[in-house]
Structure 1
Amino acid sequence: MNYPPIPAGHEDRSAHTLTVHECGEAMIPLSTLSPRIAVYPAYYHLGYAGTQTEAYLREGAAARLVSAADKLPDGHQLVVLDGWRSYEVQASIYETFRQSLIAQGWSDEEAIVSELSKFVAKPTTDVEKPSPHLSGGAVDLTIAGPDGWLEMGTEFDDFSERAMTRHYEELSSPTETDCEIRRNRRLLYHIMIEAGFVNYSQEWWHYEYGTLSWARKTNQQPIYGGILSMDEKNVEEQ
């Protein structure tokens, strides 16, 4: 299956002037949602505080994830690496990346914060202006084929320019491996876009639906505010 090139897009995450019209959708556990969706909780396996073995998305986003998975070639699955993310987990990821920059020699706090903003949303408990994953509308994922995870050019949470979704579209003399990576990223991009998600251009694995960023890119109203905790009111068992 050949998809067209991933188009260039303007990236602007300053969507805080929009007002969330919370739709009240519950979160859905993803591990039993569809045989074409697998869950590999990356941050749990890395030992981050507050993580769990399940991944969750809002009901509408979860339904669209199933739609995307159904577009995959036979023998392929979507592999969810992360979905809803608590404040505790977000803060842990943010601080870990901050410390890694300091260890690399970064010392100017303003420059550190600027670099952080490219890859990790600042943790917040403001449900009206949530970070994408706090809303339950953001998902990090890849694709597995019959022989394992497809080659995407970087590991999950790689913070180099190679992680940019269009990086392999812009190579002037791509190798055979580069072309394979480009095909795989195109596959993930187009099935997710067709299902109603938007992509964050700095990260090939990150897609959103119903969030502030999604609303800005699609000229719609954001429908997912922040969810601060897991309880019976906001989780629907399958």
Structure 2
Amino acid sequence: MLKIENSKKLPSVQENSEPLIRVEEETPRIFVKPIYYLQRIPHSLKSLYLREGAYARLKQAVRLLPENYSFILYDGYRPLQVQQFLFTQFSKQLKKQYPFFTEEEIVKETRKFVAFPSLGNEYLAPHLTGGAIDLTLGDLHGNALDLGTAFDELNEKSATRYFEQHTDENNIACLHRRLLYNCMTMADFTNYAEEWWHYDFHNTAWARRVDAQHASYGAIEAKIQDYQVKEYRYL
């Protein structure tokens, strides 16, 4: 999910028209658990989709894992309707957590955890490109390991480096986050610092972190049928 990490202008998009690929459990160490479909969020997908290049990098990352670990994939390409639903849902949750916040403060806090549902290149939500992935570490049976918080948990402990800075709280979670981070970044993904589970490749969020002038993945609009991508076009 995109959040605004600083005021620097985002890179431009030079769409390379790389295809959107359905991720298969073709290796015993990749498990697909489409979390928003399982939560019955409207317009969500029951399969996980990534750009071809991001999928190739993911398979490279899993080969870097020690043999007794796996990846559990929660989300990849995300339709705009799901992005809109999540932004509204998280805003409501934060209003309950911070009842004295102004509307402006709620929007600002929400954007730490959920991208504004925008298709514009200025603040393009990364999951709309097929170049973002949410994942965690698992064992060889696809059981999620301890990474310190639940996926999508809205608090400071979700920040990737939280346990690096609070070493006495959860050493196991710290080691697991470090392993996930190292394998993904060695495969050329970048991490969003407020969420240990979110990684980007070749979208504007990725380009901004690596100081690239251009991103290769722009927004994708998909036609959804039976909770699968039937067809899509580049915007």
Report the TM range for the smaller structure's normalisation: 0.7 to 0.9
The match for 2:130 is 136
TM-score normalised to structure 1 length: 0.87
Deviation at 1:18, TM superposition (A): 1.9
Paired AA for residue 60 in structure 1: G
The match for 2:44 is 51
The match for 1:179 is 171
The match for 1:205 is 197
Paired AA for residue 43 in structure 1: Y
Q: Distance in 1 between matches of 2:110 and 2:25?
A: 34
Alpha-carbon deviations, 1:19-66, whole Å to 9, x = none? 101011011111244332111011111111111210111011110000
The match for 1:190 is 182
Report if the CA contact (8 A) 1:80-1:139 is conserved.
yes
Q: Distance in 1 between matches of 2:8 and 2:205?
A: 6
Out of 14, 19, 22, the residue aligned to residue 26 of structure 1 is 19
Larger relative strand fraction: 2
State how 1:135-154 maps to structure 2 within 5 Å: 135-146=129-140, 148-154=143-149
Q: Distance in 1 between matches of 2:6 and 2:32?
A: 27
Alpha-carbon deviations, 1:137-163, whole Å to 9, x = none? 100000111462110000000011110
Q: Over the residues paired in the alignment, what is the CA RMSD in angstroms?
A: 2.0
Deviation at 1:182, TM superposition (A): 0.7
Deviation at 1:106, TM superposition (A): 4.4
> Identity across aligned pairs (percent)?
37
Report if the CA contact (8 A) 1:20-1:225 is conserved.
yes
Residue 158 of structure 2 corresponds to residue 163 of structure 1: yes
Structure 2, gaps ≥5 residues long: 223-228
Deviation at 1:71, TM superposition (A): 0.9
Q: Distance in 1 between matches of 2:85 and 2:23?
A: 23
Deviation at 1:99, TM superposition (A): 1.2
Equivalences, count = 222
TM-score normalised to structure 2 length: 0.88
Deviation at 1:219, TM superposition (A): 2.0
Q: Distance in 2 between matches of 1:202 and 1:33?
A: 30
Q: Distance in 2 between matches of 1:22 and 1:128?
A: 14
Deviation at 1:13, TM superposition (A): 5.2
Deviation at 1:17, TM superposition (A): 4.2
Report if the CA contact (8 A) 1:26-1:234 is conserved.
no
Structure 1, gaps ≥5 residues long: 1-10
Deviation at 1:74, TM superposition (A): 1.3
Q: Distance in 1 between matches of 2:181 and 2:91?
A: 29
Alpha-carbon deviations, 1:171-193, whole Å to 9, x = none? 15x15xx1111110000000000
Deviation at 1:232, TM superposition (A): 3.9
Alpha-carbon deviations, 1:75-121, whole Å to 9, x = none? 32111100001100000000001111223314511101110111110
Deviation at 1:12, TM superposition (A): 2.4
Residue 62 of structure 2 corresponds to residue 69 of structure 1: yes
